[in-house]
């Protein structure tokens, strides 16, 4: 029998990474917790727990706190995560602006700056982004003790494994190797991802879906995007994409979409479409508090909450169309929870009633029996989705092992 020692070493390294990741995640999510409790929950040997926690303490990722109440014998020392020793930069690169935020590794936002996006070619956007990050680091140098990662999210088709942007709707790109360029410039771990998929991940870490295994987030803004979480993992495929919900057909007689299809969800529920329909109905004489000059989605939601009939109709129609797409996703994925995000959620009661009405009519009863639908608790305009990619790397152990193995002073 021939042994492949390279495979044995590789497997040993992977097992080490997974064990460290499991213990770190247990400490983050269940602190304060003792080493004895960690051994019981993880099924690792006490000696392994001692070794792992010793290394995590050495790198100031966790710390010991006051001893737990003793029930006899030697009192157990508790452990909790330590978040303030390391910092990360999260970047949201939207169609019109760049949001840069400084986070500790507990997901606490320390600083948030917003800059206009005025460069729409790959080369100029890259130079601009690097310049902004450099300025951001310089401006907040007193808060940045140990920068360990930079994460960037944006709309489009993102190969997060290779760190390449293949398509984004607002910047002309051609296999843009942004991760590589940022790595060369800043020499820290770099993460890259789709903004809506990352927001779904953030919702599962910090938002309303923390306690469920299977969830779907749908965000309505200039477009319609979604992210699917299965068994607490973000669903992606070979092309680093999944669930293009915006181009589900909700009206076979609807107008042609830029994708070539007719009656796509995107053409019925995005902000611009709702605002345009509002103006058309005002011009046709529908009674409303809205005027042609203030016909934006924020006012539409505000007046819907106040009982304005036209505003209610606009939000309700959008909700029913959204509900048709939600019903299809429920029939396919059978999630425990669906979360809606975007400006349309500023009228939550009208919106959710309409979504549930369409869902009840078009999905299997057994699949929606234990389903809940609500609005996001996160700020979807922040860079929290970008930080979620860093959290994911800590929880799966990849970034954790980088921190344990490098020579950064503790």
Q: Where are the alpha helices (DSSP H) in 31-114?
A: 35-42, 46-58
Q: Alpha carbon 253 to chain centroid distance? A: 34
Measure the CA–CA gap between 183 and 163, rounded to whole angstroms.
10
> What are 121-128's contacts with CB under 8 Å, separation 24+?
121/171, 121/172, 122/171, 122/172, 122/173, 122/174, 122/176, 125/93, 125/171, 126/176, 126/178, 126/181, 128/98
By the 8 A CB rule, do 264 and 249 touch? yes
Whether the predicted pLDDT of 74 surpasses 80: no
Instruction: In whole angstroms, give the CA distance from residue 211 to residue 102.
Output: 26
Q: pLDDT, tens digit, for every residue of 112-126?
A: 999 999 888 999 999
Are 267 and 257 contacting, i.e. CB atoms less than 8 angstroms apart?
yes
For the chain, domain boundaries:
5-81, 87-200+383-405, 208-375
* Per-residue tokens: 65: 């706190």
Any bridge partners for residue 154, and if so which? 194
The CATH number of 87-200+383-405 is 3.30.420.40
d(CA 105, CA 408): 16
208-375 and 5-81 share a CATH fold = no
Percent of the chain topping pLDDT 70: 91
Query: Domain 208-375 maps to which CATH number in 3.20.20.140, 3.30.70.1230, 3.50.50.60, 3.30.420.40?
Result: 3.30.420.40
To the question of domain 5-81 being in CATH 1.10.10.10, the answer is: yes
Question: Residue 1: its pLDDT value, please?
Answer: 44
pTM of the predicted structure, to 2 decimals: 0.91
Q: Evaluate whether 393 touches 149 at the Cβ level (below 8 Å).
A: yes
pLDDT per residue as tens digits for the range 234-284? 988 766 555 667 777 777 667 777 777 777 878 888 999 999 999 999 999
């Amino acid at each position: 029998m021939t042994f492949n020692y390279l495979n044995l070493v590789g497997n040993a390294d992977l097992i080490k990474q997974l064990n460290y990741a499991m213990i770190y995640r247990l400490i983050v999510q269940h602190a304060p917790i003792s080493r004895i409790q960690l051994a019981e929950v993880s099924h690792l040997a006490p000696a392994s727990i001692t070794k792992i926690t010793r290394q995590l303490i050495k790198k100031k990722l966790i710390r010991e706190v006051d001893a737990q109440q003793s029930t006899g014998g030697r009192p157990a020392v508790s452990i909790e995560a330590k978040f303030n020793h390391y910092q990360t930069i999260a970047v949201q690169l939207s169609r019109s602006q760049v949001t840069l935020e400084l986070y500790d590794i507990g997901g606490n936002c320390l600083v948030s700056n917003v800059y206009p996006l005025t460069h729409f070619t790959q080369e100029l956007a890259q130079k601009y982004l690097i310049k902004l990050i450099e300025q951001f680091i310089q401006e907040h140098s007193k808060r940045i003790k140990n920068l360990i990662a930079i994460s960037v999210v944006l709309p489009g088709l993102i190969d997060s494994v290779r760190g390449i942007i293949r398509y984004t709707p607002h910047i002309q790109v051609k296999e843009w190797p942004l991760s590589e360029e940022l790595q060369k410039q800043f020499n820290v771990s770099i993460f890259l991802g789709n903004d809506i998929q990352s927001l779904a991940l953030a919702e599962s870490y910090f938002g309303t879906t923390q306690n469920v295994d299977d969830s779907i987030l749908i965000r309505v803004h200039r477009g319609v995007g979604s992210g699917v979480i299965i068994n607490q993992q973000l669903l992606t495929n070979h092309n680093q994409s999944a669930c293009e919900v915006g181009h589900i057909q909700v009206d076979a007689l609807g107008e042609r979409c830029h994708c070539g299809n007719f009656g796509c969800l995107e053409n019925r529920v995005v902000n611009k479409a709702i605002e345009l329909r509002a103006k058309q109905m005002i011009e046709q004489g529908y009674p409303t508090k809205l005027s042609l000059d203030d016909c934006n989605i924020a006012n539409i939601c505000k007046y819907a909450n106040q009982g304005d009939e036209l505003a209610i109709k606009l939000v309700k129609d959008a909700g029913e169309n959204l509900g048709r797409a939600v019903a299809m996703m429920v029939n396919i994925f059978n999630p425990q929870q669906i979360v809606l995000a975007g400006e349309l959620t500023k009228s939550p009661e009208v919106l959710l009633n309409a979504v549930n009405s369409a869902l009840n009519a078009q999905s299997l009863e057994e699949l929606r029996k234990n389903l809940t639908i609500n609005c996001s608790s996160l700020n979807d305009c922040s860079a929290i989705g970008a930080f979620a990619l860093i959290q994911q790397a800590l929880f799966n152990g990849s970034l954790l092992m980088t921190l344990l193995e490098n020579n950064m002073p503790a």
